[in-house]
Structure formats: structure tokens, C-alpha cells
Structure 1
Amino acid sequence: MSVRDEPGMTVGQVAELVGVSVRTLHHWDEIGLAVPSGRSSADYRLYSESDVHRIETVLVYRETGMPLSIIAEVLGEPALGEREHLEQQRKLLVARISHLQQKISAVDQLLREKGMGRKLTAAQRAEILGPDWNPAWEDEAEERWGESDAWKQSNKRVSNMTADDWKVAKRNINVLEEKLAEAFEEGVEPGTERANELAELHRGWVGEWVETTHSKQVLMARLYTEDPRFQSHYDDRAPGLARWVRDIVEANARANGVDPDTAEWV
């Protein structure tokens, strides 16, 4: 290891550099996917440039939709050098683009055959919801929950929403997020009466789309700190807001008899 590559970056510095949460880096360390090569005298994780390069490689593979378990296998293949990894990443990304183009063609065909009607396409919904909304999230949600009753319930509601319905939904989430950001900036502590009220407002808003228990809400709120896109959505409004929203949801869940550490999709 060269002097330049000596481990010296903390987990917080690396998280900010690559755009993931500290919790994500801790998880990747625990599962052996991206392990820091050093430790401080106080036993804190320290990352070298090579460690950061591996994390960036993980992120590219993850962007292609590859599960973490498969990424670990690919990175553990000694026959694959840096160039081979890049070529494989490019191949996967091209395949993903092709898959998305096929979906766009299918939507265009439906529009030609059926006209606009009451239903809106993901692109039209995104236009109403604003630049923060990414239509690809709907594809990811379907891949994750498409076989569940919750997804079918939500999809049925969404498919019948008009443009005016989406505009009302956009106003509602803006109001909720303004209240959350205001309380966060005022220093409202998780577990307090006001924080619990806001957590219930959040659960009520999610409940407009799909039946939401406190346990389900906990699992949804995890995405706010574990998925960089959700974290950015909240933290762009107020740095640290994503973590705080997750904290108030978990504190409220405890107050309602749910242990966040063992929460299940029930």
C-alpha cells in the first residue's frame, strides 16, 4: 500500500464523498462488501483511496439493479481486473437502458391505442409532482412489492387518479414536509408529543396510498436514510431531516408497541 493510499478518511467523510449514508457503509462493512482497511486508535473505521474506489464500484453495480450478494461475488472474482469490471458494468447499464426503452415503447403504444382517458402515465404524474419525482421509482417499487396485496391495493388507487387528484396529493405532501422541516429546525425531539403527532400525520399520508401499520411505516422510513435518493429529497430541504423523520417514526412506533429493530411488513 502506497503512502497516498494509507487509510485516513473517516466513515462520515466517505459517506459525504460518495453520497451514501453512514449506516449503509456500516452495513457494507458488516457483510464484508466494502471493508475499511484501517482503524483509528479509538477503533473508528478509516478508509483508503482503494477502499473508496471499491465503494464506487459497488455503487455502479447497484445502479444496474444487481443485488448486493451478487455484487460481492463479482468483486470477489480474482479473474476480473479493473478494466473487466468497467466493461461488465457498461454491458449491464446498456441492458438496463434497453429494458427501459422497451417500457417506453410499450407506454407509447398504449397511449396511441387508448388515448389519455382518466389515467396518467408515470411521466405525466412526474410533471405534476415536480422535478424531485423519478418515474423509475415506480418500476423499482413494483419489482420489490409487485406480488403483495399492498402493492395491488396501491396500484388500483393510483390507476384511477386524475390530474386533479395528483395535484391535491402534491399539495398534501408539501404541507406535511413543511411541517416536518419546521419541527426539525425548531429542535423538536423524537418521542415528544409533537413529534409523535407528526409521525402519525406521516403515517396517515402514507395510508392514503396503502394500508399502513406502525410496523410498515418503520420499514418505509428506513429508506429515508438507506436510499441516497430519499435521503437527498429530505436533506435538501433541511440537512439531517431524513434521519430525524426516521427517528420520530421509530419513536412513535415504540410508543405504540412496535420494536423498530424487529419490524415486519404486517
Structure 2
Amino acid sequence: MTGMVDEIDEDATIGVAADLLGLTVRTLHHWDEIGLASPSRRTPAGYRLYTWDDLERLSRVVAYREAGLRLDAIRDVLDDATAEIGSTLRAQRSQLAERIHDLQQLDERLERMTDAHERGILMSDDQQREIFGEDWDPEQSRGARFAWGASRQWAQFAERSASRSPAQWRELSQAMSALQRDLADAANRGVEPGSEEADGLVESHRELFSNFFPLTRQMQVCLGRMFESDPGFSSYYNGIGDGLATWFRKSIDESARHQGIDPDAATWE
């Protein structure tokens, strides 16, 4: 760029100056208006003319701008004879290092978010079994993406999974296990679906499950049906407590009725 400026042997119009420096005329107008780099001469008709010195200043402005300096910092460097250019550039490098750090963190966050959308739970198979129990099947967890990957709930699950640590997964797993034991105990004691105690347990389940994705009461009704009708889920719940799958489904239905929801008409919404 400097070499091109050196070749100029006469004053340059604003269009020529813009072409030489790879700028727009609008940019040169702006720099003139703020007093950063103004042409020294004008034609009799009032058009801007940039001298060799003007073009040299413009080339320095461009160089410092490409280094990331703000326009006010560039003005200080060019106009203040006492300005310590090295200090200004070191400060710029320090700011750049902070930006690089922030961008690296953003990249790591995006990587975790991408992995969570593709894998669901961001833990190794051994970590999952250690936290969720030896009967836990990581393949079944990964398979959920193929069944639900296009849904809003899977996206919400992935977004939360991306920021969840193994310790937080453990805490959530322990809370879910404790709730399931409470459900089994209530069913074993003959607590009636629709009672205050049963409604409280149903609401605790809805709140706890909402750690995965927001669970409405209608959606919870749909889950209750699946817990009872799906062989895998019913076997799991009945393994915790005899007849628990049906008791839990009935309790969810009755709780929904107390909230003005017809469980027979409930949909996933």
C-alpha cells in the first residue's frame, strides 16, 4: 500500500485515494468529518484533494485499524507527539488476548452443544453406568436421539445436558431414585390416586423431570400412559414396586383432573 502511495506524483481525488487504499469513499468522508484524516487541498469547485502526506497518514490509519485499534486510539497515536505507540499496541494485544480467550470458551461451549445434540448425555459409558447404575444402557440413551432428535424437547434436553457436569447428573439421578422409592412406598401403602399425598408426588415428579426439558401436565399424562403401556418402562417401574406403573399412571391422571385437564384427551403439548 505504501508503495502505491509513493507512486503518486500529484494530488489524488477522493475516488483515487479510496481505490489506492482499498477503502470506500464513504469511509474517507467519515474520517474527514471526525478529523482523523482530512484532505489538505480542494479544487476550485470544492472537491477534496489528498496530497502525498495526506495519503501517507491514511495508510497509517489503515495499518493501525487492521491491527484492531479503535479510531480514537489511532488519532492519539498519530497526533500526540508524546504518545507511546508501543504501549498502545501492547494494550491492544492484551485486549486481543482476552478476546481470544473468550472465543476459545465460546468454541468449547459450541463443541459441547454440538455433542449434546448428537449424543444426549456427555459422559462416557462407564461414567453413565457408575452414576445411573449397572443396569443403565448407554446405547438406549443414544438411541433416543433417533426417536426424538427432531423434537423441541430433544433440543431443550441437549441444551441443558451441554452445561451439566457429572456431579450434577449424579445429584439428579439420586433425586429421581429417591422419588421413585417414595412412589413405590406410597403405592405399597395403598395411597389412593387423587389423594393429596399422591398429587404431591406427581407434582414432585413433574418438577424433577423438568430438569430434562419443561414438562407440562398434559405431557406428563402422556408419559404416564407410556410408563404403563411400554414393556420396557412398565417392567422398570414394576421392578421398583409391584403394580407401580399402573398406580403411577392413575395418580398422574387424577392429578391432571384436579387441574382441569381431561387425561383421555391429553396430548403432547
Give the TM-score band, short-chain normalised. Answer: 0.5 to 0.7
Report what 1:45 is aligned to.
Answer: none
2:196 is matched by which residue type in structure 1?
E
Report what 1:166 is aligned to.
Answer: 169
In structure 2, what is the Cα distance between the partners aligned to 1:218 and 1:171?
23
Report what 1:190 is aligned to.
Answer: 193
TM-score scaled to structure 2, two decimals?
0.52
1:262 is matched by which residue type in structure 2?
A
2:129 is matched by which residue type in structure 1?
A
Residues 3-41 of structure 1 show CA distances to partners (whole Å, capped at 9, x for unaligned) of xxxxxxxxxxxxxxxxxxxxxxxxxxxxxxxxxxxxxxx
TM-score scaled to structure 1, two decimals?
0.53
Change (3 A) 1:157 1:147: same
For the 8 Å contact 1:218–1:246, the answer to whether it is kept is yes
SS at match of 2:135: coil
Report what 2:214 is aligned to.
Answer: 211
Greater RCO (Cα-Cα under 8 Å, separation 6 or more): 1
> Are 1:265 and 2:268 matched, yes or no?
yes
Q: Which consecutive residues of structure 2, in runs of 5 or more, have no partner in the other structure?
A: 1-110, 116-120
For the 8 Å contact 1:120–1:159, the answer to whether it is kept is no
Q: Which consecutive residues of structure 1, in runs of 5 or more, have no partner in the other structure?
A: 1-109
1:136 is matched by which residue type in structure 2?
E
> Are 1:141 and 2:144 matched, yes or no?
yes
In structure 2, what is the Cα distance between the partners aligned to 1:251 and 1:183?
15
2:160 is matched by which residue type in structure 1?
R
Aligned residues: 151
> Are 1:125 and 2:128 matched, yes or no?
yes
* Bigger CA radius of gyration: 2
SS at match of 2:184: helix
In the TM superposition, what is the alpha-carbon distance from 1:126 to its structure 2 partner?
Answer: 3.0
1:167 is matched by which residue type in structure 2?
R
Report what 1:75 is aligned to.
Answer: none
1:265 is matched by which residue type in structure 2?
W
In the TM superposition, what is the alpha-carbon distance from 1:122 to its structure 2 partner?
Answer: 4.8
In structure 2, what is the Cα distance between the partners aligned to 1:263 and 1:179?
26
For the 8 Å contact 1:132–1:233, the answer to whether it is kept is no
SS at match of 2:267: coil
In the TM superposition, what is the alpha-carbon distance from 1:143 to its structure 2 partner?
Answer: 2.3
In structure 2, what is the Cα distance between the partners aligned to 1:244 and 1:216?
18
CA-based RMSD: 2.1
2:220 is matched by which residue type in structure 1?
Q
SS at match of 1:264: coil
